[in-house]
Structure 1
């Protein structure tokens, strides 16, 4: 249960990435979001599997970096394997947005834990 919330947060943020991306291209974000998101969702789950095999809680820098890397690289690979396309600009935007999304909430959580520990 302790790891379920961080996993759900990551999956929601990956879906948000797809919705925002579709909307930014004046495309229907609801219809196409799952088509865009599924490779990244699957890859995020694989990243979480690796983190759990390493007995990491997925909340720290190491776990977050592993999840981000697998979500980015695996998502791009699954996208291409399934017949989709990818361009350097898309890879860069994906890397930045997923880095901010998947790393950002972990940074906030770390700061809050640190603040509570010193209080």
Structure 2
């Protein structure tokens, strides 16, 4: 159950990032629009989970959370570039900051609550 909660929390972080970004720039759109923006980051999230073996300890901030965060953004941006989607410098910075705050933030809250 803990593994599922960790995965759901991470996916929600990515989806919130996408929905906020889309609503700010071009309107949220439908499920397909959100999916077309989210898929590169969701694949990056899966890569981060695989590399860090996040399913073992999904709530750990270091190294799991950091690996998931960096993988989500880096792999997401590479896939966006390869698929012809935008990777403007400002967008990369916003993605790193927002996803870092979100993906590390919920883990930090869990760590504080557990103490």
Q: What TM-score results when the alignment is normalised by the length of structure 1?
A: 0.87
Once the two structures are superposed, what CA deviation does each residue of 1:46-98 show, in whole Å capped at 9, x if it has no partner?
Answer: 1101111x885132221000000100100000111112121110000000000
Runs of 4+ residues deviating >6 angstroms: none
Q: Is the 8 A contact 2:13 2:102 kept in 1?
A: yes
Greater C-alpha Rg = 1
Q: Which runs of 5+ in 2 are unaligned?
A: none
Aligned to 2:66: 65
Aligned-residue CA RMSD (Å): 1.5
* Aligned counterparts of 1:6 and 1:106: Cα–Cα separation in 2: 9
TM-score (norm 2): 0.90
Q: CA deviation at 1:30?
A: 3.4
Q: Distance in 1 between matches of 2:105 and 2:55?
A: 22
Higher RCO, 1 or 2 (CA under 8 Å, sep at least 6)? 2
Equivalent position of 1:89 in the other structure: 90
